[in-house]
């Protein structure tokens, strides 16, 4: 049986598996630690780390580290001999959850959410009516955490998601609770990114603006600056849909200015401020790609990696930018480093590295990368297609036969998923041919 000390990846992500000793890391690791501290210290802060991980992250982490003894859907299911003292404290709170105060329930659910136990969140928090959501802030917060867990589970399963629950929370939560704004912004972003619904996005942008005006007098300087920064990063989707480049740049400048003006006094505030600037830099990298300014996009992508050297997502971002610039060899290095840090994104990193090697004519290396991608994500179609392409070139009849059979199985599965309203995973980024040097 594999142990937590067997690989750096397992050791580094131990906090997700048993709430083991906190060693720092990426923002999502801090999110778990802050949530745990809020529970045991019975404190609360209005803002936290923004980045959310889906339940699939836990599944990928366990698959990649082979730590199947930690494969549970509820912390109470973890074997007693695998529990740390901190994990046991969480379990005790879960056992007492029905009789706990609503304030404590919020803290327990926040920790479950941070640990990616999204199905468990739905089981502990019932669906609430508009009247219940409006009754008090804790109920509204619980409803919001439930809605976000439900959204992430739908995304994991490639299923369409109704925004009704988030809309109800935004329109009925007590005005002094920040979740009325958080829910509204989430609706705005989903309407803009997923549905390209300009009219809906404009409505929710106006709605959130009114909520912000109502809540600003109750916020301190740090909370106000962070809120305005978060607002502009979401609201910018409206001019983005309108293809208004001038307004997009102006609003992202405002977003960044608010973020850079934050003066955090506590450790939590300082880290939240730092993470917020990283999130904004990620958005500004995508903005530069949208503006087709590849020099600026690469500059920003490299800054992202420097800001958080342990987050594989930013290395995937850098790899994408480098590919758009035709720097295939450099992209390989970015993707290779991401495979050491993931999840999330390990399967994508291996696949993209395989595409890079295939474009460079290194078919054996491409073969290895596609197999590694499938090892991380056995349901991925794209690596199987690629293996089928290179099999004849390698003279590997067995690989060709297997690829044909497996592709047929996956395509049949795809049809079943689409029939049930789901979609299927795949990687579509195109790798250009490397530039010839003199």
Residues 6 or more apart whose CB falls under 8 angstroms from that of 360 comprise 328, 329, 434
Pick from 21-30, 69-78, 183-192, 379-388: least confident? 21-30
Model pLDDT for residues 308-325, shown as the tens digit of each residue:
999 999 999 999 999 999
Contact 134, 119 (CB under 8 A): no
Name the residue ranges covered by the structural domains of the chain. 1-124, 330-419
Q: If you search the block for the tokens 């919020």, which residue do you land on?
A: 106
Q: Would you place residue 436 in the very low, low, confident or very high pLDDT band (cuts 50, 70, 90)?
A: very low
The mean pLDDT value for 72-84 works out to 98
Pick from 7-11, 295-299, 382-386: least confident? 7-11
**Helix, strand, coil tally for the chain in percent (to 5):** 70, 0, 30
162 versus 111: the higher-pLDDT residue is: 111
Predicted local distance difference test score (pLDDT) of residue 438: 36
- pLDDT exceeds cutoff 80 at 426: no
- For the chain, what is the radius of gyration of the CA atoms? 23
The mean pLDDT value for 43-61 works out to 92
The mean pLDDT value for 331-343 works out to 96
Query: What tokens appear for 330 in the block?
Result: 């450099």
Model pLDDT for residues 192-215, shown as the tens digit of each residue:
999 999 999 999 999 999 999 999
| Length of the chain, in residues | 438
Q: Would you place residue 3 in the very low, low, confident or very high pLDDT band (cuts 50, 70, 90)?
A: confident
- How many Cβ atoms from other residues are within 10 Å of residue 400's Cβ? 17
Provide, rounded to the nearest whole percent, the portion of the chain with pLDDT above 70. 96
The mean pLDDT value for 154-175 works out to 93
Q: Under CATH, which number does the domain 330-419 receive?
A: 1.25.40.10
Q: Would you place residue 428 in the very low, low, confident or very high pLDDT band (cuts 50, 70, 90)?
A: very low
- pLDDT exceeds cutoff 70 at 126: yes
Predicted local distance difference test score (pLDDT) of residue 437: 39
Predicted local distance difference test score (pLDDT) of residue 375: 94
- DSSP, residue by residue, 119-185: HHHHHHS----HHHHHH-HHHHHHHHHHHHHHHHHHHHTT-----HHHHHHHHHS-TTSTHHHHHHH
The mean pLDDT value for 30-59 works out to 94
The mean pLDDT value for 233-261 works out to 98
Q: Would you place residue 46 in the very low, low, confident or very high pLDDT band (cuts 50, 70, 90)?
A: confident
For the entire predicted model, the pTM comes to 0.93
- pLDDT exceeds cutoff 70 at 435: no
Q: Whole-angstrom Cα distance, residue 81 to residue 87?
A: 11
- pLDDT exceeds cutoff 70 at 424: no
Provide, rounded to the nearest whole percent, the portion of the chain with pLDDT above 90. 88
Residues 6 or more apart whose CB falls under 8 angstroms from that of 416 comprise none
Cα dihedral 31, 32, 37, 42 sign: positive
Q: Would you place residue 368 in the very low, low, confident or very high pLDDT band (cuts 50, 70, 90)?
A: very high
Q: What is the distance between the terminal CA atoms of the chain, rounded to a whole angstrom?
A: 53
Q: Would you place residue 432 in the very low, low, confident or very high pLDDT band (cuts 50, 70, 90)?
A: low
- pLDDT exceeds cutoff 90 at 91: yes
Across all residues in the chain, what is the average pLDDT? 94
């Amino acid at each position: 049986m594999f142990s937590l000390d067997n690989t750096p990846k397992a050791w580094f992500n131990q906090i997700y598996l048993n709430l083991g000793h906190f060693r720092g890391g990426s923002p999502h690791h801090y999110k778990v630690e802050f949530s745990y501290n809020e529970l045991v210290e019975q404190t609360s802060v209005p803002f936290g780390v923004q980045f959310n991980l889906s339940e699939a992250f836990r599944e990928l982490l366990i698959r990649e580290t082979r730590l199947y003894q930690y494969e549970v859907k509820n912390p109470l299911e973890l074997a007693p001999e695998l529990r740390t003292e901190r994990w046991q404290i969480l379990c005790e709170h879960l056992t007492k959850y029905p009789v706990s105060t609503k304030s404590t329930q919020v803290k327990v659910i926040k920790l479950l959410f941070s640990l990616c136990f999204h199905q468990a969140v739905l089981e502990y928090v019932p669906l609430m009516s508009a009247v219940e959501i409006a009754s008090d802030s804790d109920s509204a917060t619980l409803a919001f955490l439930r809605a976000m867990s439900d959204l992430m589970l739908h995304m994991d399963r490639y299923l369409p998601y109704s925004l009704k629950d988030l809309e109800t929370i935004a329109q009925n939560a007590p005005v002094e609770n920040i979740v009325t704004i958080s829910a509204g912004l989430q609706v705005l972003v989903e309407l803009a990114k997923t549905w390209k619904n300009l009219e809906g996005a404009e409505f929710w942008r106006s709605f959130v603006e009114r909520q912000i005006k109502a809540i600003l007098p109750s916020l301190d300087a740090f909370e106000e600056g962070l809120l305005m920064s978060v607002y502009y990063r979401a609201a910018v989707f409206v001019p983005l849909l309108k293809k208004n480049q001038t307004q997009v740049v102006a609003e992202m400048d405002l977003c960044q200015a608010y973020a850079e003006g934050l003066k955090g006094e506590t450790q939590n505030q300082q880290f939240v401020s730092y993470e917020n600037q990283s999130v904004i830099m990620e958005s500004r990298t995508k903005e530069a790609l949208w503006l087709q300014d590849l020099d600026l996009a690469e500059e920003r992508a490299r800054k992202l990696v420097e800001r958080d050297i342990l987050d594989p997502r930013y290395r995937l971002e850098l790899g994408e930018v480098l590919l758009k610039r035709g720097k295939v060899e450099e992209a390989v290095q970015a993707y290779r480093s991401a495979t050491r840090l993931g999840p999330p994104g390990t399967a994508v990193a291996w696949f993209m590295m395989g595409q890079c090697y295939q474009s460079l004519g290194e078919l054996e290396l491409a073969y290895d990368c596609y197999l590694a991608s499938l090892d991380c994500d056995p349901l991925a179609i794209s690596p199987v297609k690629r293996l089928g392409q290179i099999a004849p070139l390698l003279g590997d009849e067995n690989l060709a036969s297997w690829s044909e059979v497996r592709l047929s199985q996956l395509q049949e599965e795809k049809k079943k998923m689409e029939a049930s309203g789901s979609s299927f995973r795949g990687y579509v980024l195109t790798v250009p041919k490397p530039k010839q040097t003199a």
